[in-house]
Chain A
Amino acid sequence: QVTLKESGPGILQPSQTLSLTCTFSGFSLSTYGMGVGWIRQPSGKGLEWLANIWWDDDKYYNPSLKNRLTISKDTSNNQAFLKITNVDTADTATYYCARANYGSYPYWGQGVMVTVSS
C-alpha cells in the first residue's frame, strides 16, 4: 500500500526559506523508475507543478520559480524534501507530494497548508 504524507512549518514570514518533507511508504526511491513530485495549490485555485526527483537522482524544476527550488531525497528513510527560498505571500498554498509514474501522479499525500504572512 502506497502512502505519502507531507509536513511543513504551517506559517512563515516573507523572505524565509520554506522546508517541506514528504514521508512515504509502499515504494522505494532507489527502485528503477520511481519518482516523487511536488505540486501546490493556492486556496480555491488550480494546481502548479513544482519539481520532480527520480530514483537515479535526476531532478527537474519548474523554471517559473526562478531557481528558488531545491528538491532532494533520503532513500534510507523514505523521504523527499523541497526547499523554497525567499518566500512571499504568493507562495501561500497547499503543498502536495505525489509518487510519479510516466509523468502522471497515481498516489498523492493529503497535502500540507503553508501560509506566508508577516
Chain B
Amino acid sequence: DTVLTQSPALAVSPGERVSISCRASEGVNSYMHWYQQKPGQQPKLLIYKASNLASGVPARFSGSGSGTDFTLTIDPVEADDTATYFCQQSWNDPYTFGAGTKLELK
C-alpha cells in the first residue's frame, strides 16, 4: 500500500502562512487530495488532484506538488482553520489516507 506521511501537529498564529506536507512512499502522479476535518464532523474536501480548489473553498487554501511530495498551504490562517488535515491518494490501489496533521492556533 502507498503510505502517506504527514507531520502530526502544527501551531501557528492567525494571519500567518502555514504549509502542511504529505509525502507518499511511491509516486501518485497528481492524484493527491486534501481534506479538513473538525471534531464531530465529516471530512470536507479542500483540494483535489494536487492543486484544484474544491467548490466553495476559500482561496486562502492552495495545493501543490506531484509525484511523491505534496503541500497544502493556508495563507492567511484564520481562527476557524483549527482542524485536522488529511491527505489522500487515489493513483495506487488501495486508496490511502495520511494519518492527519492537527493544526492549532496560538
Interface residues in chain A, defined as those with a beta carbon under 8 Å from any beta carbon in chain B: 37, 39, 46-49, 52, 60-64, 96, 101-106, 108-111
Secondary structure dominating the interface of A: strand
CB contact list, B61-106 vs A, under 8 A: 86, 88-91, 93-100
Which B residues are CB-close (under 8 A) to A96? 42-43
Number of A-B contacts (CB under 8 A): 62
Which B residues are CB-close (under 8 A) to A48? 97
CB-based contact A108/B44 at 8 Å: yes
Known: A64-B1, A103-B91. A47 touches B45 (CB 8 A): no
Q: Say if the beta carbon of B33 comes within 8 Å of chain A.
A: yes
Which B residues are CB-close (under 8 A) to A109? 42
Q: Say if the beta carbon of B23 comes within 8 Å of chain A.
A: no
Interface residues in chain B, defined as those with a beta carbon under 8 Å from any beta carbon in chain A: 1, 31, 33, 35, 42-45, 48-49, 54-55, 86, 88-91, 93-100
Which residue of chain A lies nearest to B96 when distances are taken between CB atoms in the complex? A49
Which B residues are CB-close (under 8 A) to A49? 88, 94-97
Which B residues are CB-close (under 8 A) to A103? 31, 33, 89-91, 95
Known: A46-B100, A48-B97, A49-B95. A104 touches B42 (CB 8 A): no
Which B residues are CB-close (under 8 A) to A61? 94
Which A residues are CB-close (under 8 A) to B45? 104-106
